[in-house]
Structure 1
Amino acid sequence: MGVAAQTREPGVHWVRAGETVYTIARQNGIDAYRLITLNKLSAPFNLFEGQRLALTGSAVSTGETTTITAALPASSATAASDAVNLTPSTPDGAVPAARPVFTDRADEPPDHPVVAHSSMQVSPPASAGGFVWPVQGRILSEFGPKGGGRYNDGINIAARSGSAVRAADSGVVAYAGNELRGFGNVLLIKHAGGWMTAYAHNDAVLVARGERVQRGQVVARVGDSGNVDRPQLHFEIRKGKQAIDPLSQLPRPSAAATTRRDAG
């Protein structure tokens, strides 16, 4: 049945062609994160024409199944969510939630228990030379578990605001925007062999989606956008949807860069 034939219900939105979680949230004046959790949507948050979405807790469906009539084209925000896998698997019964990037603020509670991460060793990217450091600076937080059940999917590197952020390897820009909660201005680059790098908290992103970039090219400027309180770069390396410890893939840092390991 088409969207036009759907019965109007208070607190309910019927998805139309071309709409995304983010456009629907803006249109109805609610937070995209709340829309995702109310409807138990999982990354990459694909929507379908005719899909029923609750806008309020009282409108949450109790077993209704909506007929899928046509798939929507993925938006840039959907592509970003898919690329960084912001909704990791959760224990049975838990509501999937888009987890903001880990920051160095020790007083922030975790959004939910975090699982399905790995520090496994994998082969380096197929391109000659491998990854290079996106920026030089002191490491504020390394990859792995932190206190209070949090987990850092990458590393956070302190750097002066406005410093050049360089592409860690050649590739194609998969996403450039600020629609990912907690990450601020984000850049995602796809590389050969199923590799992906993510650069978050930028002051500005200097390349556009679909643009081809070269290893070492300046692609962004360091900033403090998103959920951080000092200039820094949050940097991730992923193989498929699996987060990999960047320090296992990057060359040894220069003598100018000092590393501090988090106590937990």
Structure 2
Amino acid sequence: MIVRRSVTAILVIALAACQSGYQTTQSRQRTSTKPAKPVVQTAPKSQEAGIATVQAGDTVFGIAFRAGLNYRDVAAWNGIDEPYTIQVGQKLRLSPPATATASKPAKSAPALPNQKTVLSKTIPVGEPVPVKPAVPVLSNIAWQWPAKGEIIGRFIVGDKTNQGINIAGSNGQDITAAADGTVVYSGAGLIGYGELLIIKHSNEWISAYAHNSKRLVAEGVKVKAGQHIAEMGQTGSVRTMLHFEIRRNGKPVDPLLYLPTR
């Protein structure tokens, strides 16, 4: 009986030693494993610097909107006349062509060592630089709210992720045109905007309606202020909402400077 218990004890100790050795080996293997190299993402070949390659569903208005440019400038730089027809695979310039007779900027007098120049006005170093408050440019357009709901995101100057306002709501809620105009883009080809509508109100002004669950108007359709144009959704967004933008000459402006107080 004593012999059997001794043999059993020896077997238990041996198994424990083996298990301990196995865990040590496994842990060494895990520590010695080299971490995987990070995957470097490269931009598609179609996204060349200063060049946009036309994809299926693209329009001059959509390409200009994505680049933050005036559609008339993009059309002029590429010799495209109305109705701004483009072809898949066509390459469009996103900047004006260089000219051999470009005028040189006038030289300004150098500032003194203890001075700095701000907007052609020289002020002593150490004094605060005056900042002009944002003044809305008159649009001569009677803007209306495109949807009811709480504002959950506001416009931030220079922030590419906050170029308009976000209005919370429910799935399928009515979205209406903020002013009279013509639909110049109706699609889902702009990354980050989901189902998107763009309305042209004048040669200067456009408005954009993103993350819709359904678009109810097609390109070329003339709409009236307050007309039902889409249904609210969360395409391209983490929650149900309307992302609304107003742009002047391709540049985003704060919609709250133009929408009526409510």
TM bucket (normalised to shorter chain) is: 0.5 to 0.7
Matches within 5 A, 1:96-245: 120-127=134-141, 130-144=142-156, 151-226=161-236, 228-245=237-254
TM-score by length of structure 1 reads: 0.54
Preserved CA contact (<8 Å) 2:234 2:241: yes
Alpha-carbon displacement from aligned partner over 1:58-85 (angstroms, at most 9, x marks no partner):
xxxxxxxxxxxxxx9x964443121353
Write the distance in 2 (CA, Å) between the matches of 1:140 and 1:199: 15
Q: Match of 1:221, SS?
A: strand
Write the distance in 1 (CA, Å) between the matches of 2:211 and 2:199: 15
TM-score by length of structure 2 reads: 0.55
AA partner of residue 145 (structure 2): W
Q: Which residue of 2 aligns with 1:83?
A: 65
Write the distance in 2 (CA, Å) between the matches of 1:163 and 1:35: 39
Percent identity over the alignment is: 34
Q: Match of 2:44, SS?
A: helix
Q: How far off is 1:184 after superposition?
A: 0.4
Preserved CA contact (<8 Å) 1:83 1:196: no
Q: How far off is 1:235 after superposition?
A: 0.3
Q: Give 4+ residue runs of structure 1 displaced > 6 Å after superposition.
A: none
Q: How far off is 1:140 after superposition?
A: 1.0
AA partner of residue 247 (structure 1): L
Write the distance in 1 (CA, Å) between the matches of 2:206 and 2:46: 24
Across the two proteins, how many residue pairs are aligned to each other? 160
Task: Provide closer, same or farther for how the CA distance between residues 75 and 204 of structure 1 changes in structure 2, counting only shifts above 3 A.
Answer: closer
Higher relative contact order (CA 8 A, sep 6+): 1
Preserved CA contact (<8 Å) 1:186 1:199: yes
Write the distance in 2 (CA, Å) between the matches of 1:126 and 1:233: 24
Write the distance in 1 (CA, Å) between the matches of 2:259 and 2:59: 28
Q: How far off is 1:223 after superposition?
A: 0.2
**Structure 1 unmatched ranges of 5 or more:** 1-30, 48-71, 89-118, 254-264
Q: How far off is 1:33 after superposition?
A: 5.9
Write the distance in 2 (CA, Å) between the matches of 1:133 and 1:250: 6
Write the distance in 1 (CA, Å) between the matches of 2:261 and 2:154: 14
Q: How far off is 1:145 after superposition?
A: 5.5
Q: Match of 1:238, SS?
A: strand
AA partner of residue 202 (structure 1): N
AA partner of residue 244 (structure 1): V
Preserved CA contact (<8 Å) 1:164 1:218: yes
RMSD: 3.0
Comparing 149-158 and 184-193, the one that deviates more: 149-158
